């Protein structure tokens, strides 16, 4: 195996394209040109890596000496495996210290070592478990009043000024004070900490010149000494409150787990981790929202949008744009083999805008219902412990500012940033407003009112955009077609083949695949009336009329088309045609070989026939009960060429049949989407409580009879992604280590269930109330 260093010597460029690079491989030139400290990456890291997401998602950067990873799934894969992809290099100086700088640091006894974020297993989880309590959502609730008080004090000081730099006036100091308060660190030297933090960031993630290195080394050395002094001071108060006091106590109780070296290193790292991240994220948030005025105005009109708007800001313009890992053995990311010891720059800002995970990913959209999947807090066992403090602060800032200064606007200015690989946020955010128009001058009570948001990830329930029904038609017997457009006439987000939206109709929230042409301004849905169903489709058929305003979640895509297959067979049963037609459109646009097999009772009951015949006539095979032309699924599978894929949406028996027929084919051959879930509601009369041991976090939870496993895990402060909460999407998957599972999802195949390695936590449970072990 060639090491990156060797490769660099051999080709000076991209190892995968080394041969082509002599002839001028254009992709390799992009990899060679990639500069993490200046140019496009410093202007907009997500945009700068668009070419990589599309063409070369894992590449070696000779300038940086790192492998750069730019796609969402690949980044998540790296975060997920903390053993193969060690965090040991997370706080390493990305630009090696000059001998002079090292001398200076030595003079201060500088010995920055493992903290939490760069500690390997098993030491890391042991330490994290010992120190987790303060971060659990229920224990953070009490911090809300303090954050609001500090925010109001700052706002009161500038509310009548009409012009302010938000960073200087609020966004720097409040997160620092909150952090110091949370940590229990004395608040007496705030000014000096600012210098130190910048020095630490440049020292760790920047590219200082040789001269700058020496000056920074002095600041970093002093920061180190300062951290040591604070620890000594805090040790004099054994009863002190705050997380660092707890850490110092644990150091005395379990010195092998919470070591001396850890305590000193952490004291320095946590001050930056806890406040610089939040200050920069908040600065990005105000800049982004005030540059997207419609979003700001929507929040002013409906503050319940705030938690998701914060999440979307963290996704679209997060403060940590790239993080690091190092392989401990040869590894594979995407389809690239990496040697042992390879250093990785995993660019969350790029993954956060990856269209493969986020529909219309480069669009800022506060109604995005999977914004919370962003990677700005990392992912997996090292995921940010303080994420709920950061979220809490950002929500309170936004809530206070939109209520008290809805007429705020960005002033003319040039934004500047500290050049580095990882921490991103403007140095200043100048804003203006007319104090005479401050709403509280007329309504003084406004200065004191406020909304409350529970600590934790935002609830999907609050996320919905307003749309209007602009078209209503009969698509087939029992099927109506709807066209929906944004209620304020704005463009709706783009979507990809296989995507769905959810109509929010109170007790009848229902998901429907998008079946219009991708470039149409509105969203087309086709909805079958199911008289035996749970009532949603009946409600829609009976009550929805043209011109009505509705609420809608999404689009999201859980049924994605792999665009690289050799050939495609698309199989639809009845109303399952809706995602299939969008896939056919896409395959036609890509010029791929495809066939559509559309099964139904009779032509009269089959939706979208005219459109299919007009757009896909040569590829369409109809199988109707009335004509006796049933689809021969076995023949379809037998005729599938190598590298071909089958996509099916239809009734369960059709999916099961194809699942059986493709059981011996390569794993990626068969893709399916059920259009209905089993009833996943819990009936406490029939359910049993059970115990679950979460091995990674060292917790044992009791899951009550009326509670899902997912809810129990979330209540313990552990983030598990979720989307459908009906067992359809697979996003809430957790690894099973031991115990019998009662699988109730529609995601796992029969053989996957038999393997007993995965559980969908939103619906599946332990069998017969038994105890289970999860990762
Ligand atoms: C870890 C981001 C706020 C404490 C991390 C990581 C990231 C991050 C990217 C590494 C995750 C990984 O390796 O998977 C952020 C952002 C914040 C924020 C964007 C604000 C918007 C905070 C706050 C605190 C905090 C307020 C504490 C009060 C920590 C700790 C870790 C960590 C202790 C180490 C966790 C571990 O390795 O187990 N953070 N952070 N963070 N963060 Fe944050
Ligand atoms: Fe979709 Fe659980 S959240 S399967």
Q: What is the DSSP string of 178-237?
A: HHHHHHT---TTHHHHHHHHHHHHHHHHB---HHHHHHHHHHHHHHHHHHHHHHHHHHT-
pLDDT of the residue at 326: 98
Confidence band (pLDDT; 50, 70, 90) for 3? very low
Pick the closest to residue 536 from 523, 550, 524, 547 (CA basis): 550
| Residues 690-747: tens digit of each pLDDT | 999 987 666 789 999 999 999 999 887 777 777 678 887 777 889 999 999 999 988 8
Which residues in 103-125 are b (16+ Cβ under 10 Å) and which e? Answer: ebbeebebebebbbbbbeeeebb
Confidence band (pLDDT; 50, 70, 90) for 680? low
pLDDT greater than 90 at residue 199: no
Q: Which of 727, 734, 752, 758 to mutate to test the pocket of ligand 2 (most atoms within 8 A of CB)?
A: 727
Hey, whose CA ends up nearest to atom 4 of ligand 2?
Answer: 727
Which residues are near ligand 1 (CB < 6 Å)?
79, 87, 116-117, 128, 179, 182, 273-274, 277-278, 281, 318-320, 323, 376-380, 382-386, 389-390
Q: Dihedral, CA atoms, 244, 246, 249, 254, nearest 10 degrees? A: -100
Instruction: Look at residue 409 in the predicted model and tell me its pLDDT.
Output: 98
pLDDT of residue 197: 83
> Does residue 101 surpass a pLDDT of 70?
yes
Least confidently predicted of 122-131, 415-424, 465-474:
122-131
> Contact, 482 vs 469, CB < 8 A?
yes
- 753 vs 727: CA distance, rounded Å: 14
Q: What is the mean pLDDT of residues 534-538?
A: 83
pLDDT at 697: 65
Structure confidence at residue 5 as a pLDDT band (50, 70, 90): very low
Dist. CA 510 → ligand 2 center (Å): 15
Residue recorded with tokens 């997370």: 90
- For 615-652, b where at least 16 C-beta lie within 10 A, e where not — what string? ebeebbebbbeeeeeebebeebbeebeeebbbbbbbbe
Q: Smallest Cα–Cα separation from 62: which of 35, 41, 22, 44?
A: 35
In this prediction, residue 207 carries a pLDDT of 93
For residue 665, is pLDDT > 50? yes
Question: What is this structure's pTM?
Answer: 0.85
**Chain segment 223-250, per-residue pLDDT in tens:** 999 999 999 999 999 899 999 999 999 9
**What distance in angstroms lies between residue 89's CA and the mean position of ligand 1's atoms?**
16
Task: State pLDDT tens for residues 581-594.
Answer: 999 999 999 999 99
Task: Band the pLDDT of 675: cuts 50, 70, 90.
Answer: low
Give percent of the chain with pLDDT exceeding 70.
95
Q: Within its chain, how far is the Cα of 51 from the centroid?
A: 21
Say yes or no to pLDDT of 11 above 50: no
pLDDT at 8 over 70: no
| Averaged confidence pLDDT in the chain | 90
Give the Å distance between the CA of 504 and the centre of ligand 2.
Answer: 18
pLDDT attached to residue 7: 38
Task: Write out pLDDT tens, residues 44-93.
Answer: 999 999 999 999 999 999 999 999 999 999 999 999 888 999 999 999 99
**Looking at per-residue confidence, does 558 or 282 come out higher?**
282
Work out the angle between the directed axes of helices 173-183 and 260-271 (0-180°, nearest 10). Answer: 160
Which residue has tokens 């030297």? Answer: 189
DSSP letter string, 253-322: H-TTTS-HHHHHHHHHHHHIIIIIHHHHHHHHHHHHHHHSHHHHHHHHH-GGGHHHHHHHHHHHS-SB--
Q: What integer pLDDT is reported at residue 447 of this predicted model?
A: 92
Is 482 a residue whose pLDDT tops 50? yes
How much distance in Å is there from the Cα of 376 to the middle of ligand 1? 9
Which atom of ligand 2 sits closest to the CA of residue 727? 4
């Amino acid at each position: 195996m060639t090491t990156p260093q060797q490769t660099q010597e051999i080709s000076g460029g991209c190892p995968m394209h080394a041969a082509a690079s002599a002839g001028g491989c254009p992709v390799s030139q992009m990899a060679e040109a990639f500069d993490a400290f200046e140019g496009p990456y410093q202007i907009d890291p997500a945009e700068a890596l668009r070419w990589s997401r599309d063409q070369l998602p894992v590449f070696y950067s000779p300038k940086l000496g790192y492998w750069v990873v730019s796609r969402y799934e690949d980044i998540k894969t790296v975060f997920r495996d903390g053993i193969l992809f060690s965090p040991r290099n997370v706080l390493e100086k990305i630009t090696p210290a000059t001998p002079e700088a090292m001398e200076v640091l030595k003079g201060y006894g500088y010995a920055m070592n493992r903290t939490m974020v760069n500690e390997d297993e098993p030491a890391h989880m042991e330490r994290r478990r010992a120190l987790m309590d303060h971060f659990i959502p229920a224990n953070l609730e009490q911090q809300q009043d303090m954050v609001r008080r500090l925010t109001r004090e700052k706002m009161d000081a500038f509310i009548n000024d009409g012009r302010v730099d938000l960073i200087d006036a609020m966004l720097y100091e409040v997160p620092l004070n909150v952090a110091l308060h949370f940590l229990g660190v004395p608040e007496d030297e705030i000014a000096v900490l600012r210098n130190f933090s910048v020095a630490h960031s440049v020292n760790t993630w920047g590219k200082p010149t040789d001269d700058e290195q020496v000056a920074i080394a002095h600041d970093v050395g002093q920061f180190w000494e300062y951290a040591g002094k604070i620890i000594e001071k805090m040790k004099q108060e054994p009863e002190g409150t705050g997380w660092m006091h707890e850490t110092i106590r644990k150091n005395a109780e379990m010195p092998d787990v919470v070591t001396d070296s850890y305590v000193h290193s952490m004291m320095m790292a946590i001050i930056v981790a806890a406040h610089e991240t939040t200050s920069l994220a908040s600065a990005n948030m105000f800049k982004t929202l005030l540059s997207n005025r419609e979003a700001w105005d929507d929040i002013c009109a409906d503050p319940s949008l705030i938690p998701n708007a914060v999440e979307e800001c963290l996704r679209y313009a997060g403060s940590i744009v790239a993080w690091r890992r190092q392989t401990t053995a040869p590894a594979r990311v995407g389809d690239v083999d990496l040697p042992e010891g390879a250093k990785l720059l995993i660019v969350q800002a790029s993954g956060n805008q990856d269209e493969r995970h986020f529909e219309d990913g480069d669009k800022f959209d506060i109604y995005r219902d999977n914004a919370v999947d962003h990677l700005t807090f990392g992912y997996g066992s090292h995921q940010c412990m303080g994420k709920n403090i950061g979220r809490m602060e950002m929500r309170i800032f936004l809530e206070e500012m939109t209520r008290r200064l809805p007429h705020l606007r960005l002033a003319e200015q040039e934004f500047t940033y500290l050049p580095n690989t990882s921490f991103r946020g403007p140095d200043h955010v100048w804003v203006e407003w007319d104090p005479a128009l401050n709403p509280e001058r007329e309504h003084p009570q406004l200065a004191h009112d406020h909304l409350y948001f529970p600590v934790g990830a935002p609830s999907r329930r609050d996320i919905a955009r307003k749309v209007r029904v602009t078209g209503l038609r009969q698509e087939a017997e029992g099927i109506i077609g709807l066209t929906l457009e944004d209620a304020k006439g704005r463009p709706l987000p783009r979507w990809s083949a296989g995507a769905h939206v959810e109509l929010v109709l109170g007790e009848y929230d229902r998901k429907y695949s998008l079946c219009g042409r991708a470039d149409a301004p509105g969203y087309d849905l086709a909805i079958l009336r199911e008289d035996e169903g749970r009532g949603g489709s009946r409600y829609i058929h009976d009550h929805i009329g043209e011109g009505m305003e509705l609420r809608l979640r999404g689009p999201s895509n859980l049924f994605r088309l792999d665009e690289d297959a050799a050939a495609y067979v698309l199989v639809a049963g009845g109303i399952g045609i809706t995602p299939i037609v969008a896939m056919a459109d896409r395959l036609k646009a890509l010029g791929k070989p495809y066939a559509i097999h559309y099964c139904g009772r009779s032509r009269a009951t089959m939706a979208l026939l005219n459109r299919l015949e007009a757009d896909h006539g040569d590829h369409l095979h109809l199988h109707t009960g009335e004509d006796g032309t049933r689809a021969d699924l076995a023949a379809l599978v037998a005729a599938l060429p190598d590298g071909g894929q089958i996509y099916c949406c239809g009734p369960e028996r059709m999916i099961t049949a194809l699942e059986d027929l493709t059981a011996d084919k390569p794993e990626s051959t068969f893709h399916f989407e059920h259009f209905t879930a089993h009833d996943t509601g819990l009936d406490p009369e029939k359910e049993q409580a059970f115990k679950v041991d979460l091995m990674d976090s060292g917790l044992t939870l009791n899951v009550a009879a009326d509670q899902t496993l997912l809810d129990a895990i979330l209540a313990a402060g552990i983030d598990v992604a979720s989307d459908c909460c009906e067992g359809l999407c697979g996003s809430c998957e957790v690894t099973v280590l031991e115990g019998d599972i009662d699988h109730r999802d529609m995601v796992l195949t029969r053989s996957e269930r038999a393997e007993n390695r995965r559980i969908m936590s939103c619906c599946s449970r332990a069998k017969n109330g038994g105890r289970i072990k999860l990762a």
